[in-house]
Each structure stands twice: as C-alpha cells, then as structure tokens.
Amino acid sequence: MEVSKFDERWAETFQSIKQVLSKTLSDLIIDIEHVGSTSVQGLGAKLILDIDIVIENYDVFPNVIKGLENNGYFHQEEWSFEGREAFGRKDTYSPWDGYGTQWMEHHLYVCNKDSKELARHLAFRDYLRNNPQTVIEYENLKRDLANTVKDRTTYTLGKTEFINKILKKAMD
C-alpha cells in the first residue's frame, strides 16, 4: 500500500470523468461529487479517486444503472448498502469516452441526495478542505499505517477512529 504525494492531476482527472458521465446521465442525476482524499488540496492519498453520483431518489436508479452499463460499469450489489450503490469498471477504459482513454483507478458510487453516506463523504471532505492542520494529521496517520500494515482492511480500520472524530466535529 502506498500513499502518494498530492497531485493536481487528480482534480483534472475527476473533471474529465465527470464530463463523460454527465453526458450519459445528465437528466437522471443531480450532481457528481469528488470525495475522498484525492479531493482535498495538499492531502496525500492512494491513487484511487472516490466519486459519488447524486440522484434525487431511487425511481431513476434503474435508468442510472443502464447509463452506467453503457459507459462500461457494472452494479456491485455485494458492495452496496442503503443509500450507497457501488459500481465496478469493466476495464481501464471505463467510462468510455469514444477516444479509448485509460482512466485512473476510481471507485464509483450512486447515492440518493438524502443518503447518510453521501452526507458523511461531503462533511469529511469539506472539513478537511477547511482545516489544513487536520489534513497534515490525517496524512501522517495514513502514511504511518501504509508503512506498518499489510492489508487494505487493516489500513482502513486504522483510520476509522480519526475519521469518526472528524465526522463528529463536522456533522454536529
């Protein structure tokens, strides 16, 4: 596991992916949000973008699934839970933009606008964006974990207490 230094290209890649997905899903969605560590200026991260597609409600979800399938994604029901539906990529060319672009690794989720998970993602991201000292603390924790743990599950569990502490501050 490696935590890479912040890279401005992460935001550019997100915007490119958002543009491709927006063309297919425009009338079905409210917004597409860049969340997770790669969305925070100056924060080191694993080289994986986290993207939340926001929908009004689940009435449109079957059509969102079809639109995402047309862009090279598949619904990962086993990784989904209430308020957050996970999607995997068929290959590195997903989403298909018509040019054969290979995209940076990313996790794609669909959340309804009232989803607790969406609220958590946005609150955590926004708190970090507004608290540079917390960004430093979080990156140090992530680097320490990346250097000492052997698997992704342990890495994720090692961040949980810190994340919950920030979410309590951000959502109160």
Measured between alpha carbons, how far is 141 from 104 in angstroms, rounded to an integer? 24
The answer for residues whose C-beta is within 8 angstroms of residue 24's C-beta and 6 or more apart is 67, 68, 70, 71, 95
Cα 77 versus chain centre, distance: 17
pTM of the predicted model, to two decimals?
0.95
The answer for residues whose C-beta is within 8 angstroms of residue 2's C-beta and 6 or more apart is 46, 47, 146
CATH superfamily of 9-171: Beta Polymerase, domain 2 (3.30.460.10)
Nearest to 24, CA basis, from 82, 91, 108: 108
Residue 172: is its pLDDT beyond 90? no
Per-residue pLDDT reduced to its tens digit, 73-115:
999 999 998 889 999 999 999 999 999 999 999 999 999 999 9
Per-residue pLDDT reduced to its tens digit, 141-166:
999 999 999 898 999 999 999 999 99
Q: Which two tokens stand for residue 137?
A: 């603390």
pLDDT of residue 27: 94
Per-residue pLDDT reduced to its tens digit, 12-50:
999 999 999 999 999 999 999 999 999 999 999 999 999
H-run or E-run covering 127:
helix 116-129
- Own/partner pairs, 66-72, CB within 8 angstroms, 24+ separation: 67/24, 67/25, 67/28, 68/21, 68/24, 68/25, 68/108, 68/110, 70/24, 70/96, 71/20, 71/21, 71/24, 71/95, 71/96, 72/96
Q: Are 64 and 53 a contacting pair, CB within 8 Å?
A: yes
Nearest to 136, CA basis, from 40, 48, 47: 40
Please state the domain extents for the chain: 9-171
Three-state DSSP class for 30? coil
